[in-house]
Amino acid sequence: MKNFKVLSKRKEKFKNFSSKQGEPQIRHAKIEDFSSFVSLEKICFKEETFSKKQLKYLFFRAKSIVLVAALEGEVVGSMIILLRERVSYARIYSLNVHPQRRRAGIGRLLMDTALELLKEKGFGKVSLEVGVNNRAAQNLYRQKGFAADKTLRGYYKDGGDALHLVRKL
């Protein structure tokens, strides 16, 4: 694996990834994005949302990459990627797109950026979980090369099942 050090979110250089006019800008999250990030998480996941304390840890302290999609200054999408450096393995922990902005390619842009970043940093594999009934997300992940390797029974708080998906980078 390439030399990779997770930097504090406060010290990290915030790279803006290229976007076409009219498309959201995909970038590393900034401290100022935290309240919008929490709001988006609550809107998108309702009962399955993390507590503010958990989100604070993921955003500021975890070995992670947090990306946001910003459109006209508003955070309309986000992604949390947890990093396991010693085994060159990453896990997409959360992918959110505001309900009013779905079906516009924002999830695809976040995913493309994340996969490119992880590959550049030398990660060999990435995984994620998705609800068995979330066909839209499953379609996106399959288009991006993910394949299901197992079903996780009772994964969600409501007892719903999830698929565990993996992709080599």
Q: Residue 43 — very low, low, confident or very high, per pLDDT cuts 50/70/90?
A: confident
Backbone angles phi, psi at 57, to 5 degrees: -60, -50
Q: Tell me the sheet residues that pair with 26.
A: 17, 69
**pLDDT confidence of residue 3:** 32
d(CA 162, CA 160): 7
Query: DSSP class of residue 72?
Result: T
Is the pTM here over 0.75, yes or no?
yes
Reported as a single tens digit per residue, the pLDDT across 93-150 is 989 999 888 888 899 999 999 999 999 989 999 999 999 999 999 999 999 999 999 9
Q: 21-37 b/e with 16+ CB inside 10 Å = b?
A: eeebebbbbbeebbebb
Q: Which single residue is written with the structure tokens 């976040």?
A: 110
The arrangement of secondary structure in 16-168, i.e. its CATH architecture, is 3-Layer(aba) Sandwich (3.40)
CB 146 within 8 A of CB 118: no
CB 103 within 8 A of CB 137: no
Q: Tell me the sheet residues that pair with 83.
A: 90
Degrees, nearest 5: CA angle 140-146-149? 130
d(CA 113, CA 143): 15
Angle between helices 52-60 and 34-45 (to 10 degrees): 130
Reported as a single tens digit per residue, the pLDDT across 9-30 is 433 444 556 556 677 889 999 8
Residue 5 confidence (pLDDT) above 90: no
